[in-house]
Structure 1
Amino acid sequence: MMSIVKLKATDGTEFEFDSANPAGSGGMKDVYFSKDKKQVVGWYRKKPDYNAMERLRNIVGVYRERIFQQEGGAYWEPLFCWPTHIIEDQGHIGIVMPTYKSHFFFQYGSKNDDFLSIKGKEKEGKWFASANHQQKHLDPRERGNWLSYFTTCIKIARSVGRLHMAGLAHSDLSYKNVLVDPAGGNACIIDIDTLVVPGRYPPDVVGTPDFIAPEVMATLKLPVGDPKKHLPRIETDRHALAVLVYMYLLYRHPLRGRKIHDADPQKDEELGMGERALFIEHPSDSSNRSDPTSVKPGFLPFADTTKIPYTVCGPYLKEVFDKAFITGLHAPDHRPTVQDMETALVKTVDLAQPCANPNCDQKWFVFDNSTKPRCPFCGTAFVGPLPVLNLYSSRGGGKFLPDNHRLMVYSNQYLYPWHVSRLVFPSARLTEAQRKPVGYFVFHGGKWLLVNQSLPGLKDVGTGEAILPGNRVELKNDQKLLLSPEEGGRLIHIQMANV
């Protein structure tokens, strides 16, 4: 039965909410739909104190304006569920937020007639960060493929990076506070109302288990105000982000291995996630390796780090994970930034190859620089010649230096402006023109071809031949193609693998 309540926000905006139509509840709020279901209001069970109210006013005001009211602000709207208004009614405080997009609700539910009853419920990230959930419970149409998880992770990293650029920390980044839609490559950061501003608005929570940074876990019992106590901040977001990406790509936790630190489970948890936290794939200390014999079959092969090591994610992510879980695990200042993570993810996407096995669960794999590449998930070998494009860019004086960046070729793979110029990076700042492909690759007549769509300066360096827009060029081993003669323009050196 509909029970419409008309209320005014603190800025005078009028809203209509249905008090008989709850949208859910969390640890701090009870949430109800608006009359048209385009918005929700979350009523706090406990009235926020003065500092919390000031923070809320800034979140719906100046902080929101910094992100959404500037050039390119529309890009961020689907990536955050950002509160828009504050409502006060009879001593109760609530916040108005946009309703989650439809793709963040399970459409098909779980296997076996949705025995988990998740159809229509929110796609919390926890459903996609476990091999058991992935293989045993989720409908394949909800799962996406391995490449789509990279796209999802890029959006998460980019969103967290935007918060950090504004001087904000999420403070509770976890798979509960990030909605994901891997099938569509979508992500949305939620629970924005508890943002931390270092030195001004302290955190309300220490985080969610699995994602609490070791230094925070190790000092949990110290009283507030103790100078040795660590609280959530930008550096702890960096740890949580690295854990999220690792779990979404490898379906296991980077710190939960076989090592037991104390007979008391609570003490063991505090030590294993805090003071004595150890990467399960640490190169010189194997004492916390995961034990594949102790897990259910649904967690395999991902629980076995010897079969699916983190190196399957490629060299760029290996470097970032090493910084996050080895160098920076107990040294927050040495953790990779979110920009480091975003760059590694973007460059790894360029190393992706589709698996030739139609029954492969992951569908994609990352090229491992081997002469005979094969999918690490199903073992299927790549058949035929495989062009590997090494990117070099001009740095003045006619010199081209390596960019530590490769582009793998597959049929209907596109070439984009960020491949053509070192000065363009695929970020939220891309213009519409920069988002359009300038060429594509195709395997035709037993040959790999690059079709030039709109590059005016494409040239075969060896022959001096210009390849005009609308024409194509065959890719050959040791060939050099100039993509752009402008400053920062790229030259590609082609190597043929699997020949």
Structure 2
Amino acid sequence: LAVDEQVEGFGYVMGLRPQRFKNIVDLMKRRIEPTFRSLATAGFHLAHNYLLLHTQGFCYRDISFGNAFFDPDTGDVLICDCDNVAPDGKGVLGVLGTPRFMAPEVVLGTAVPSTQTDLFSLAVLIFYMLTVSHPLEGQNETEIKCLDLPAMNKLYGSHPVFIYDPADDSNRPVPGIHDNALAFWRIYPQFLRDTFTRAFTEGIRNATNGRVRESEWRGQMIRLRDSIIYCSHCGLENFYDADKLKATNGNPGLCWSCAVQLILPPRIRIGNQVVMLNHDTQLYPHHTDDDRLYDFNSPAAAVSRHPTDANVWGLKNLSDGKWVVTTADGEVRDVEPQRSVTLGVKTRIQFGKAEGEIRI
């Protein structure tokens, strides 16, 4: 904080932004090309930090491009310009928000910024990051001759329609104009598309109880990260989609980039979590201990290749305790720290407080 004896009140001094943190506008303009893993990690950190703010009784009031930065290599985030933060429910104390990010009720002037309106802005920001497009800008936008204040109030306030609303196709993305929305939407697994759909349909109709909470976004971003698989041909990231597998009798589909048939790696189910066991997968206490949810400080396990047989892969114990492993044929053995268990179908691993089963 900065104070001056001759000036009433106080100000603050904010450190310069480290160069590794980039503006989300850099993503929109393709000046950076983060991986899906980095984007999902950034989405997790954003949701987590806004949750921490909200649980303290504050609202941010202006979640948008200009206030959130992220490291495209790691997904670390930096939230700046916190002078707009205010106690929740205290009325108009500063900015109302940034156009295109404000909740419809704020656009219309029927509500002031709050934690509930922050939830809408957060959903827009995450949608922007993952699809490089706006959830309400489709056919309806193209029919506007002049995007003046009345037009914006209609598009984002009085008549907002999600571009993928299953009950209203009047605002679908237009090829040649909204190509990012068309390209990215099909890449993501159904669970994420369902969450976005709820955020911009029920979340618009029911501002009080219909919005996706920060805690749910947090879980969805980790689930998205755990769903990443790699194309065996081009090496780019794709996603495991359980709903698609059920609908296609186990066919994971084609790579979104090179159109080569995808091959699923082994995966492990731990409780209600499914984690794809790629060559670079790591499990964290978050996955193996319900008392340490969202603890990603140090890995508890990592996929590793056999030192003498390159065709054999295992899961290495990086924790401080031993695992108890039961193979498909009923053999039980201990796996001490720094030792590995082969990725065999139906092998069960007792991590201590949770049990996982490997599936292939």
TM over 0.5: yes
Match of 1:456 in 2: 322
Instruction: Confirm or deny that 1:176 pairs with 2:66.
Output: yes
Secondary structure of the residue that 1:407 maps to in structure 2? strand
Match of 2:357 in 1: 493
Structure 1 residues 440, 262: CA separation in 2 closer, same or farther (over 3 Å shift)?
A: closer
The 1-side partners of 2:303 and 2:144 are apart by: 56
The 1-side partners of 2:77 and 2:199 are apart by: 22
Is the contact made by 1:480 and 1:491 (CA closer than 8 Å) also made in structure 2? no
Task: Map Cα deviations across residues 120-160 of structure 1 (whole Å, 9 max, x no partner).
Answer: xxx332221x2xx11xxx1xxx4322211111111111111
Secondary structure of the residue that 1:271 maps to in structure 2? helix
The 1-side partners of 2:15 and 2:157 are apart by: 36
Question: How much has 1:439 moved relative to structure 2?
Answer: 2.0
Instruction: Confirm or deny that 1:289 pairs with 2:172.
Output: yes
Secondary structure of the residue that 1:308 maps to in structure 2? helix
Is the contact made by 1:215 and 1:330 (CA closer than 8 Å) also made in structure 2? no
The 2-side partners of 1:199 and 1:239 are apart by: 16
The amino acid that maps onto 1:474 is: T
Instruction: Confirm or deny that 1:127 pairs with 2:3.
Output: no
Instruction: Confirm or deny that 1:351 pairs with 2:235.
Output: no
Structure 1 residues 325, 440: CA separation in 2 closer, same or farther (over 3 Å shift)?
A: same
Match of 1:246 in 2: 127
Question: How much has 1:277 moved relative to structure 2?
Answer: 0.4
The amino acid that maps onto 2:168 is: D
Is the contact made by 1:172 and 1:208 (CA closer than 8 Å) also made in structure 2? yes
Match of 2:11 in 1: 95
The 2-side partners of 1:473 and 1:184 are apart by: 28
Secondary structure of the residue that 2:13 maps to in structure 1? strand
TM-score if structure 2 supplies the norm length?
A: 0.86
% identical equivalent positions: 22
Is the contact made by 1:255 and 1:279 (CA closer than 8 Å) also made in structure 2? yes
Is the contact made by 1:280 and 1:290 (CA closer than 8 Å) also made in structure 2? yes
Secondary structure of the residue that 2:334 maps to in structure 1? coil
Q: Which runs of 4+ in 1 moved over 6 A?
A: none
TM-score if structure 1 supplies the norm length?
A: 0.63
Q: Map 1:59-70 to 2 at 5 A.
A: none
Task: Map Cα deviations across residues 447-474 of structure 1 (whole Å, 9 max, x no partner).
Answer: 3322233342321154241232143222
Task: Map Cα deviations across residues 364-385 of structure 1 (whole Å, 9 max, x no partner).
Answer: 22212333434324434334x6
Structure 1 residues 378, 171: CA separation in 2 closer, same or farther (over 3 Å shift)?
A: farther
Q: Map 1:261-272 to 2 at 5 A.
A: 265-266=147-148, 267-272=150-155
Task: Map Cα deviations across residues 157-214 of structure 1 (whole Å, 9 max, x no partner).
Answer: 1111111011000001101111222223221111211212134363412211110101
Which of 419, 423, 428 lines up with 2:291 in the alignment?
Answer: 423
Structure 1 residues 356, 89: CA separation in 2 closer, same or farther (over 3 Å shift)?
A: farther
Structure 1 residues 150, 457: CA separation in 2 closer, same or farther (over 3 Å shift)?
A: same
The 2-side partners of 1:177 and 1:328 are apart by: 23
Which of 289, 296, 300 lines up with 1:438 in the alignment?
Answer: 300
Secondary structure of the residue that 2:292 maps to in structure 1? coil
Question: How much has 1:292 moved relative to structure 2?
Answer: 1.4
Structure 1 residues 315, 89: CA separation in 2 closer, same or farther (over 3 Å shift)?
A: farther
Match of 1:411 in 2: 279
Aligned length: 344
Match of 1:465 in 2: 332
Structure 1 residues 441, 184: CA separation in 2 closer, same or farther (over 3 Å shift)?
A: closer
The 2-side partners of 1:167 and 1:313 are apart by: 33
Computed over aligned residues only, the root mean square deviation of the Cα atoms, in angstroms, reads: 2.5
Match of 1:74 in 2: none
The amino acid that maps onto 2:200 is: F
Secondary structure of the residue that 2:204 maps to in structure 1? coil
Match of 2:95 in 1: 205
Question: How much has 1:308 moved relative to structure 2?
Answer: 3.2
Secondary structure of the residue that 1:274 maps to in structure 2? helix
Question: How much has 1:97 moved relative to structure 2?
Answer: 2.3
The 2-side partners of 1:199 and 1:102 are apart by: 33
Question: How much has 1:263 moved relative to structure 2?
Answer: 5.8
The 1-side partners of 2:7 and 2:300 are apart by: 58
Structure 1 residues 200, 273: CA separation in 2 closer, same or farther (over 3 Å shift)?
A: closer
The amino acid that maps onto 1:440 is: A
